[in-house]
Structures are given as structure tokens and as C-alpha cells.
Amino acid sequence: MHPIAFQYGSFVVHWYGIFVACGFLAGIWMTAWRARQQNIPTELIFDLSLYLLIFGMLGGKLFYIIAYWQDFQRNFSREGFNALRSGFVFYGGFICAVVVTIWYARRHGIQHWRMADLFTPALPLGHAFGRLGCFAEGCCYGEPTALSWAVHYPASHPTYPHGAHPTQLYEAAANLAFCAALSWFYPRRKFDGQVFWIYAILYAVMRFSIEFIRGDNPRHWPGHLTNSQVTAMLWLVAAAIFLWRLRRTRAAQ
């Protein structure tokens, strides 16, 4: 666990921020490249990307505060507004990003599912970079394990002295695989929205599965499920319904 990349006096740069920035830039580059192939102005991609960054971060932070209210209250009482520097829920950022994409696409006269498909292969790419940042930060860790590839954190970490599943790396690898698969599938899609909702299904299944070996999330739900697992199940059902409806609409046309 090496959260700090470099420090100059009181100025500290964390690896997490570096990885997130790299993921964001890589995602913009991939989407702009694909937009040029589709004759979509790249200015729209850069403009929307800024909105997605802002509202995605706000949504992820807001959902974290709601889902982990007691933890946030405890941290806020100790650290004040510095408590806002940590904690992020992916699904919160994801949902806000979807809403912003729909609004932006309609505002500029572009079919919103077409725009969502355009951005989708870049989502898991950026997320993979983010999980590498989580690995460096020591958050989003796994349960204790005796496997040979277990990660051993320092004494200040909650998993010490046991080894833990490197769930951050598991998820990063899965996201890279999703990026490759969706990039291959994008030119073969049958209707607008298909790429996006397939990604939603893939991510929901992966996240539901990997949560069983996450060691940092409370299990308040029946069956010892986490908030993310319940959200993943709801998202999976919604994705299946939208795919079915979009395919029916396409067939009718």
C-alpha cells in the first residue's frame, strides 16, 4: 500500500488521483477516436466528458454519504469537510452520468442511447484505472485469504496481519476484459443502447460476485448481502428489461 505518489511540503499527490486522471483521459481519447469514425463532432465528446466528470463525482459522493451515513458522520465529526475527500460509490456516479448523458444528447439532437453506446467501451477502461488507484490506496480490499497471491498490508490496515484478496486487481482485470469485448462488439451492435445495457449486465454480474470476497463493505441485507449487491440485482433486472424493450422496438421498426 503506497497511497502517496509524491509530496512537497504540505502539497501531497496521491496515486489514486493520478490513476483516476489517467483513466479519465484514456476514456476521452478512446471515445473521441470512436466519435470521429461516427462523424460525431469531438467537441461534443470533450464537452460532455466534463459534465460526466463533475456530476459523476458528485453522484458517487452523494450515494456514499447516503449508503454509509454513520461512517460519514463519524468521519465528519473528526475531520470536518476533509471527510469529503474519501468515499465513493460507483453506482451513484454511474446513475448520475446516465442522466447527464440523456440530457446532453437530447439537448444536442443526438439519440441518447447512441451517445451512451459511444461512451460505453471507455467506461470499464477508466474504471480499471480507478481500481488500480484503489489498490495503491488500500481501499476496496478483499477478505482474508491464504492464497499465494494474497496481498499483505501494513499494520495500520484493517486486514493486518492476514493476507487479503486483491479484489481491486480482480475488478481491474474484469473491466479491461469488458473494455476489449465491448470495443469488439460496438461495430456489430444491432440497435442503439445495446452496448450500454450489455455492459450494465456484465458489470452487475461481476460486482455481485466479487462482493462475496470484499472485506470492507457491511452486510446489512438478508443473506449477508451488501448494498452494492442489492443495487447490482436491481440494475441487472433494469438492464434486462431495457434490452428486451429496445430489441422489440427495433424489431417493430
Burial 104-131 (b: 16+ CB within 10 A, else e): bbeeeebebbbbbbbbbbbbbbbbbbbb
Q: Where are the domains of the chain?
A: 15-252
In this structure, the number of other CB atoms found within 10 A of the CB of residue 34 comes to 20
The stretch 227-250 carries a mean pLDDT of 92
User: Residue 203 in contact with residue 176, Cβ under 8 Å?
Assistant: no
Could you report the per-residue pLDDT of 133-146, keeping only the tens digit for each? 999 988 889 999 99
Q: Is the pLDDT of residue 232 over 90?
A: yes
pLDDT band at 76 (very low <50, low <70, confident <90, very high): low
* Residue 1 reports pLDDT greater than 70: no
> For cell 461512451, what's the residue?
119
Dihedral of the CA atoms 89, 94, 99, 105 (nearest 10)?
150
Q: What is the pTM of this model?
A: 0.88
For residue 210, the one-letter residue type is I
pLDDT of 221 strictly over 60: yes
Q: Tell me if 27 sits within 8 A of 120, measured CB to CB.
A: no
214: pLDDT confidence band, cut at 50, 70 and 90?
A: very high
Please report the sign of the dihedral spanned by the C-alpha atoms of residue 45, residue 46, residue 52, residue 57: positive
> pLDDT band at residue 2, thresholds of 50, 70 and 90?
confident
Q: What is the dihedral of CA 230, 233, 239, 244, to 10 degrees?
A: -140
d(C-alpha 96, C-alpha 102), whole Å: 10
How confident is the model at residue 209, as a pLDDT?
97
pLDDT digit string, tens, across residues 135-186: 998 888 999 999 999 999 888 888 888 999 999 999 999 999 999 999 999 9
Q: What is the percent of the chain with per-residue pLDDT over 90, rounded to a whole number?
A: 63
Q: What is the pLDDT of residues 79-136, one digit of tens each?
A: 665 555 666 778 888 889 999 999 999 999 989 999 999 999 999 999 999 999 999 9
**Orientation angle between helical segments 15-37 and 122-137, nearest 10 degrees:** 170
pLDDT tier, 34 (very low <50, low <70, confident <90, very high otherwise): very high
Transcribe 162-224 into DSSP letters. Answer: SEE--HHHHHHHHHHHHHHHHHHHGGG-SSTTHHHHHHHHHHHHHHHHHGGGBSSS---BTTT
- Tell me the C-alpha distance between 129 and 237, whole Å: 27
- Please give the grid coordinates belonging to residue 70: 454513520
